[in-house]
Amino acid sequence: MPDIFGFFGIAAVLVMIIGFYSILVSQNLIRTLIGMEILTKSVTLLIILAGYLTHKMGLAQAMAITLIIIEVALTVVAVGIVLCIFRNENNVDAANLRDLKG
């Protein structure tokens, strides 16, 4: 029987690469936030995989829940900032933010 968790780890790393790519390439702040979400979800998957491989699932679950709570708080603050930028600039393009003064 093939080791399914090896494939699971490879898939999580590929999802992490997709998250990094969308953060680095996109100028749209909404797409950047989506990339950040994808990246943190892949980190959560890798934490669960590490817990399974080390036979410390309780610790891995606690760390994953803590990461999810921190991720939600970070996302709420980031969406609030993007919403304020949209209200003031009528645009969510990161290239336009370089011209801000004040």
User: What is the residue type of 41?
Assistant: K
Give the list of residues 6+ apart from residue 16 with CB closer than 8 angstroms, or none: 39, 42, 43, 46
Q: What is the CATH number of domain 4-99?
A: 1.10.287.3510
Give the pLDDT confidence score for residue 6 in this predicted structure: 84
Q: Would you say 16 and 46 are in contact if contact means Cβ atoms under 8 Å apart?
A: yes
pLDDT in tens, the chain (102 residues): 357 878 889 999 999 999 999 999 999 999 999 999 999 999 999 999 999 999 999 999 999 999 999 999 999 999 999 999 999 889 999 888 877 666
* Secondary structure (3-state) at 67: helix
Ramachandran quadrant class, 90 (left: phi over 0; alpha: psi -120 to 50; beta: rest): left
Give the pLDDT confidence score for residue 65 in this predicted structure: 97
The pTM of this model reads 0.88
What is the C-alpha to C-alpha distance for residues 72 and 66, in angstroms, rounded to an integer?
10
Q: Would you say 12 and 64 are in contact if contact means Cβ atoms under 8 Å apart?
A: no
